[in-house]
Amino acid sequence: MYKMKICLQDMVFALSEAIELASAKIRNHHNKVAVIAMKISEGLNHSNEEKAQIFISALLHDCGSIVYNTTKSSERFNFHFENSHEHAQKGYKLLKTSNLLLEEAKIIKDHHVRWDETTQNTHSFSHIIHLADRISILVKDSKSILDQVPEINDIILSQSSKMFNPKLVDVFIKESKKENFWFDILNSDYYIDSLKSENLITKTLNTEELFDATELFRRFIDFRSPFTAIHSKGVSTVAALLGSYINFSTEDCKLLQIAGFVHDIGKLAIPLEILDKPSGLDKHEVNIIKSHTYYTYKVLSKISGFEKINEWAAFHHEKLDGLGYPFHKKANELSLGCRIMAVSDIFVALAEDRPYRKGMKLESAIKILKSLADNGKIDKKVLNTLIENIDEINKLRELVQEVKLEYNETML
């Protein structure tokens, strides 16, 4: 059905980068853990399939922390911290919904299980992620990395057969004698780039798998907060319907649906304190919010073949008069797909409950949309299509409310 070929590897890297946005305290944490985990995996002579599972798990291991505020999210960067299993369990619940990452979900679920608390159900690869994760947080930017090696090794050795699998500790100690082990951690981007070129993750996604992957993106975005639990699903539904009414091809309607799933992935960079604020935002907070479409564009740029989807998704706050954000695109730079996404996003946002207000009635929402169209902000033809079909569109938008049950089952 799709002319483009989307690789699972690109999707994983993009999702990992998006998750990193939610942790301003430490950047490249997932990459560093991936470097260490792969070094240990190589020391154990794992097969390429095993390495791929470990690699993906490392890149996504802290995905469950996206639901935490800034303070709680930072707790996991203490070597010993309470409730260490909580974010691992949430990550498992998010990932297990994807048929593509079932095994990795199991690994992530147990990635803070201590060696002396291991059960027969604990995935063996979880211990690799646990060790790599704890080594990573011991590395400090304030001191030369080789000067830190004796202290880090002493801490890890002191926890052998306690926190950590002694066999894995032995492999780590052996590898840690090589200077490049530490330089690769410090320069994780270089190492990760070399792994990308090796195509360790070789799978190309078919149509069903592409939807599975982008639905996973949608859950990460929407399930971060109860106030956003249905937004991307709603935008996706409305955009695809509008596309069908405007005679988009079946393929492009599907692409609109995907663009709706991922359009707010950059909101992972916005602190929950702002997203869940129970009152209107001040100027400073609005400026922070404006960064989310920039990050959407950068994250989706990581996925080869996603160019059209990225354009439609990332430009949803651009305006026809050039006064939108973040790129100030003008009418001649905004395709019909971008215009559909803009109208869909505004309509769904107005109709939904937000922390500071209840969802608007249709009449009020349409009045605001008409004002925007009259002032040259959004496309009148797209808006007229929405209005002409408002009953059917809103009925289907309301059906999306059932996703809240999915949110409750997954995150609460």
- At residue 72, the pLDDT reads 58
How many domains are contained in the chain?
2
**Using 50, 70 and 90 to split pLDDT, how confident is the model at 324?**
very high
**Are residue 47 and residue 151 in the same domain, yes or no?**
yes
What's this model's pTM, rounded to 2 decimal places?
0.91
**Are residue 109 and residue 46 in the same domain, yes or no?**
yes
Choosing from 178, 197, 216, the residue where a domain stops is 197
**Using 50, 70 and 90 to split pLDDT, how confident is the model at 67?**
confident
Q: Is residue 132 part of a domain?
A: yes
**Are residue 401 and residue 280 in the same domain, yes or no?**
yes
**Are residue 298 and residue 398 in the same domain, yes or no?**
yes
**Are residue 386 and residue 254 in the same domain, yes or no?**
yes
Q: Which CATH number goes with the domain that contains 372?
A: 1.10.3210.10
pLDDT in tens, 94-137: 999 899 999 999 999 999 999 999 999 999 999 999 999 999 99
pLDDT in tens, 142-195: 899 999 999 999 999 999 999 999 999 999 999 999 999 999 999 999 999 888
Q: Which domain holds residue 164?
A: 6-197
Q: Say how far apart CA 262 and CA 248 lie, in whole Å.
A: 19
Choosing from 157, 178, 197, the residue where a domain stops is 197
Q: Is residue 205 part of a domain?
A: no
CA distances from 330 to 13, 262, 321, 325 (A): 31, 22, 6, 11
Residue 333: is its pLDDT beyond 80? Answer: yes
Torsion over CA: 251, 263, 96, 31 (sign) = positive
**Are residue 31 and residue 96 in the same domain, yes or no?**
yes
Q: What's the token pair of residue 40?
A: 């240990």
